[in-house]
Chains A and B, each alone.
Chain A
Amino acid sequence: GAVVSQHPSWVICKSGTSVKIECRSLDFQATTMFWYRQFPKQSLMLMATSNEGSKATYEQGVEKDKFLINHASLTLSTLTVTSAHPEDSSFYICSARQPLSLGELFFGEGSRLTVL
Chain B
Amino acid sequence: AQTVTQSQPEMSVQEAETVTLSCTYDTSESDYYLFWYKQPPSRQMILVIRQEAYKQQNATENRFSVNFQKAAKSFSLKISDSQLGDAAMYFCAYRTGNQFYFGTGTSLTVIP
Contacts and interface: CB of A to CB of B under 8 A. Distances in A.
A40 B46 CA distance: 18
Interface residues of B, number: 22
Given A43-B103, A44-B91, A49-B98, A95 B45 contact: yes
- For chain A, the bracket of interface size reads 20 to 34
A43 B44 contact: no
Given A44-B91, A102-B33, A105-B100, 6 more contacts: A93-B45, A95-B45, A102-B52, A107-B45, A109-B43, A109-B44
Nearest to B92: A43
A87 interface: no
Interface string A22-61: 0000000000101000000111101001000000000000
A110 B52 CA distance: 27
A91 to B, nearest CB: 7
Contacts of A112: 43
Interface in B1-60: 33, 35, 37, 42-47, 50, 52
Main secondary structure, interface of A, reads strand
Main secondary structure, interface of B, reads strand
Interface of B: 33, 35, 37, 42-47, 50, 52, 89, 91, 93, 95, 98, 100, 102-105, 107
A104 B45 CA distance: 11
A82 to B, nearest CB: 24
A87 B60 CA distance: 41
B70 to A, nearest CB: 17
Contact of A44 (B42, B47, B95, B102): B102
A1 B47 contact: yes
Contacts of A97: 98
Contacts of A91: 43
A73 B59 CA distance: 35
A59 to B, nearest CB: 11
